[in-house]
Amino acid sequence: MPKKVLGLLGSPRLQGNTADLLDTVLEGARLAGAEVERLDLAKMSIDPCVECRKCDADATCAVKTDDMHQIYARIRQVDAIVLASPIFFMSVSSQTKAMIDRCQCYWVERFVMQKRAYEGRTRPKGLFVACAGSPRPIVFDPARHVVRAFFAAIDYEYAGEVLLGFTDDPEISPRKVEAIEGARLAGKVLVG
């Protein structure tokens, strides 16, 4: 049975650098035999967490009126998630953060109820893809913490990252080509 890989694009630009890297990771996964799917968070209606604390009681989210159910339905059905976001003010985009915050129910399941979704089984993998305009490597550090916390909450193994910094550089082409090659390889490794 082929592995399933879900790509979550958190960029409001559906055809920018972040989307290019995500699509290339998914292409690598497809070449390695996986079924792939991409969801564009900017096209979905995802309400922010309202901190109603319903998830504290039963590890389910009380908000049922948006598109988050599409993501919930896939989190436990796929073998890997590729979370792709541009870096905005040294963190993930607001579209990405809203989705992550709505996964508090999984955090409750794992860390309050002490339930491990994949106990005794291979945990799914999570790969982080990000682009930033800044040339400073530390620009990715805060987002890494957020993304690692997300993957830990949903009980995924952090499988690494594909990062492309200084996208504002007019001479980006050689570095982008290198990042694209790394993204394709990361997709193959994610499945293999």
Using only C-alpha atoms, the chain has a radius of gyration, in whole angstroms, of 16
pLDDT at 37: 98
Give the domain extent around 182: 4-191
Q: Can you tell me the mean pLDDT for 61-71?
A: 96
Is residue 32 very low, low, confident or very high in pLDDT (cuts 50, 70, 90)? very high
Q: Can you tell me the mean pLDDT for 73-94?
A: 97
Q: Can you tell me the mean pLDDT for 116-137?
A: 93
Q: Can you tell me the mean pLDDT for 48-65?
A: 95
Biggest CA–CA distance in the chain, Å, is 53
Beta-carbon-side half-sphere exposure of residue 151 (alpha carbons within 13 Å):
24
Q: How many domains does the chain have?
A: 1
* pTM (whole model) above 0.85: yes
Residues 6+ apart with CB under 8 A from 161: 127, 128, 129, 130, 140, 144, 147
CA distance 62 to 52: 8
CATH number at residue 95: 3.40.50.360
Is residue 1 very low, low, confident or very high in pLDDT (cuts 50, 70, 90)? confident
Q: Is the pLDDT of residue 42 over 90?
A: yes
Q: Is the pLDDT of residue 120 over 90?
A: no
